[in-house]
Amino acid sequence: MNAAVCIYLARHDAQALKEDRPQDINHPINGAVHIGMSLLLWIAGGWLHGVAGLFESVIVFDTAMNLMRIPKRSPFYLPMTPKSLKDKIEKIVFFNSGLAAKIFYLAAFIICIYYA
**pLDDT, tens digit (0-9, with 9 covering 90-100), for 86-115:** 999 999 999 989 999 999 999 999 999 999
CA distance 111 to 88: 24
State the pTM of this model: 0.91
Distance spanning both ends of the chain, measured CA to CA: 18
Which H/E stretch holds residue 59? helix 47-68
CA distance 63 to 43: 26
Amino acid at the residue 10 = A
Look over the chain and give the mean of its residue pLDDT values, rounded to a whole number. 94
Position 69 scores a pLDDT of: 86
CA distance 25 to 21: 8
CA distance 47 to 18: 37
Position 106 scores a pLDDT of: 97
Three-state DSSP state, 6:
helix
DSSP state, 79?
A: -
**Whole-Å CA distances, 69 to 5, 50, 63:** 17, 28, 10
